[in-house]
Amino acid sequence: MHTKQPTTKPSTMPITTAAPVSTRIELAYEWFLELPVALVLLVMWMAGTALVGACALLMYAGISALVGMVAGTF
């Protein structure tokens, strides 16, 4: 006896026109680096300053908490 194979629809992935996240980030970074050099350096300097300030603030808070715990035991 010959059995007929069930027919299935081919699975097709929906086509999207959106770029993957990594491609969008690359495009944004490329666009940023094409800005005038003074502006790029200013933005990078400000971001670095904010990062160093945040690290200093966290370190200050941690040391203050540690000193408070040690001083509270005496």
- Among 35, 34, 54, CA closest to 46: 54
Q: Say how many domains are in the chain.
A: 1
pLDDT over 70 percentage in the chain:
76
For the chain, what is the mean pLDDT?
86
Any domain includes 3: no
Any domain includes 30: yes
Any domain includes 32: yes
What's 35's DSSP letter? Answer: S
**Total residues found in the chain within this entry:** 74
- Per residue in 2-20, pLDDT (tens digit) is 677 766 766 676 666 666 7
What is the number of H-type helices and E-type strands within the chain? 2, 0
Any domain includes 40: yes
- Span 53-69, average pLDDT: 95
Token pair for 4: 């007929």
- Per residue in 35-52, pLDDT (tens digit) is 999 999 999 999 999 999
